Every structure is written in C-alpha cells, then in structure tokens.
Amino acid sequence: MPLLLIVLLFGVMYFMMIRPQQKRRREAQAMQAALGPGDEIVTIGGLHATVVAVDDEVVTVEIAPGVNARYARPAIARVVKPEPAAAAEPVVAEPAAEEPVQSPVVETRKSKD
C-alpha cells in the first residue's frame, strides 16, 4: 500500500508539474528558433526592440534608431504581434439628448423633532 501511494504521488507530480514545464520550454525554443529580422520582441527584462540580425546564439536588436544591442537567444521572452490597422472610417457617435442626472446618494438623516 505505501509503495502504491509513492508511485501515485510521482505520477501526479509528473502530470501536474514536469510535463507542462517541458511543454513551455519546447514552445519557447520554437519561438526563439523562428526569430527573424524585423520581428518586434520583448526581452525577459522587459525591453521592447526590433530584431536586426540573428546568429546561432546571439540576436542583435535595435532598441532605438541607430542603437543596437546583442542578446542571447534565451533572453527573448516573446514576439509581439503587430496589431491590425484600425478601420479607415472613424465611427462618430450621435450626441445623446440631455437628460437630468439623478444623484445616487439618498439622504437618510433622522430629524431632531
């Protein structure tokens, strides 16, 4: 009985902790391998930059116009997807009719009579 409990505990630990961590590591490695020039990235330190060049172990990024920095591939936390452009025609809201505003505060004082 105690041996079965230990085996069950290791099985639960594998499926709850080890397996999801391995999956996240594989996804991060695939994302880092797919980096290319022009990608917008965020480093593990929170720095937003654009990829300029990619080597085997090093990624060169442009932090500001004319300012380049080199980072190790594992330091790239995520690739930022560019947001789709907003609709070309802005939506104009119609003005609402003026309605009196009622206060949500209700006076509940007791009179001293």
Query: pLDDT tens digit string along 12-52?
Result: 988 888 899 999 999 988 998 889 999 999 999 999 999 99
| Proportion of the chain above pLDDT 90, given as a percent | 51
Which CATH number fits the domain 2-80, given the four candidates 1.20.1300, 2.30.30, 1.10.1220, 1.10.10? 2.30.30
Query: pLDDT tens digit string along 60-106?
Result: 999 999 999 999 999 999 999 766 655 555 666 666 667 776 767 77
Q: How far apart are CA 61 and CA 39, in angstroms?
A: 9
**Residue-range domain boundaries for the chain:** 2-80
Q: How far apart are CA 9 and CA 15, in angstroms?
A: 10
